[in-house]
Amino acid sequence: MQTTISITGMGSISPLGSCEEDLWQSYLSNIPFFEGFTLGTEKLPIGRITSESLAKISLLQEENPKYKSLDPSVLYAIYASREALRQAGWNNEKDFGVNIGSSRGATTLLEEAHKNYLEQGKCSPLASPTTSLGNIASWVMQDAKGQGMALSHSITCSTALHAIINAIAWLKAGMAKGFLAGGSEAPLTPFTLAQMKALKVYGSLSDNYPSQPLSWKKNHNTMVLGEGAAVFALEEGFRPNAIALIQGIGYATERIQHPVAISDEGTALQESMRQALEGISPSEVDVIIPHVTGTLKGDLSEYHAIKEVFRENIPLLTSNKWKIGHTFAASGALALQMAILMLQKQTFLPIPYLESLPERPLRKILINATGFGGNAASILIGISESS
């Protein structure tokens, strides 16, 4: 499905940092950004935001007494949105909407509220409003002093790309002049980590690379959880201040064969990629950032889908999950930011445990995301026409 949407601003917070200069330097290093989290008798690798970023979030909370009761997933979204708005040059007179989703939502506050209920038999008066999924977009809009539509949704791990696709629909319908879209996730809590551990897909701190997406030599699952947010300012058509252009979008759903896995052939991914490439030769795509989470089956299924679509023209493949882990709803947005940076710097970001590949000019990059329930989304971006 072809389209032209200008990305005029972006912001993020993740284990890579919270400003573009820092995160680019983090990308250029060959080390993963994981630390240990004690869960029972085991220490699991996690991708936590940096101490400098945590300090910025604390300062954000000090700005408004109401911010002290917000979940980290909301605060991360506010922080990332402020930077996207700054870059785009929007103010509260701009007719813009917000769609920032999350897979888990207010994980920290929800687990705390449930724990307190079990211990005390009652809930805090703010337990309900502060743990609703809509909290994210509504507080971002409040912080931006905007007046447009604000919605949050969850389509599990493909949430951020679906938020962007939904925002594009609003723009094309003429229902907004701009849209803030992305994903935010703060899932590094005991119960959430225990759920991932129960799926038997979690990575190990004993490995040099606890998370190993796209490695065909691994003999065990290596998914690691991370946290963060990334948000983009979108406007229809070509804008002179565009930092990148969305040139194609695709989405599909397949019949699930297993509650947490895509089909062996990645049927939904094949369809979403073909839609995003409508009218464009696969040979024009220079890089794909797949969803690959480091699991044995999931990584291979997506590779099969890529081979089916691209045949002999398989582009360069890379991922940021080996560095920061799987950030659920934020993962697609952080991958999109990675793609934009590669286009801006004209530098491919390889994975150190994979075979190095020759450099080439970068013009188009495809980003994939999949989620529980058999859904998939793909977004094709290219460099701005003014570049």
Q: For the segment 76-109, what is each residue's pLDDT rounded down to a tens digit? A: 999 999 999 999 999 877 889 999 999 999 999 9
What's the mean pLDDT when you consider all of the chain? 94
Q: What is the pLDDT of residues 175-209, one digit of tens each?
A: 999 999 999 999 999 999 999 999 999 999 999 99
pLDDT for position 384: 63
For 173-190, give one letter per residue: b (16+ CB within 10 A) or e: eeebebbbbbbbbbbbbe
Residue 260 in this model has a pLDDT that exceeds 80 = no
2-205+218-236 and 244-382: identical CATH topology: yes
Residue 254 has a pLDDT of 86
Q: Does domain 2-205+218-236 have CATH number 3.40.47.10?
A: yes
pLDDT at 37 over 50: yes
pLDDT of residue 147: 87
Domain boundaries in the chain? 2-205+218-236, 244-382
CA-closest candidate to residue 364, choices 263, 287, 266: 287
CA separation, residue 92 to residues 95, 127, 138, 148, 189 (Å): 8, 30, 14, 10, 35
Q: Determine the distance from the C-alpha atom of residue 254 to the mean position of all C-alpha atoms in its chain, rounded to a whole number.
A: 21
Rounded to two decimals, the pTM is 0.96
Phi, psi for residue 69 in degrees, rounded to 5 = -95, 5
Q: What is the DSSP string of 332-384?
A: HHHHHHHHHHHHHHT-----TTS---------EEEEEEEETTTEEEEEEEE--
> pLDDT category, 387, cuts 50, 70, 90?
very low
Tell me the pLDDT band of 2, cut-offs 50, 70 and 90. confident
**Span 244-382 CATH architecture:** 3-Layer(aba) Sandwich (3.40)
Residue 331 has pLDDT above 50, yes or no: yes
Q: What 8-state DSSP symbol labels residue 175?
A: S
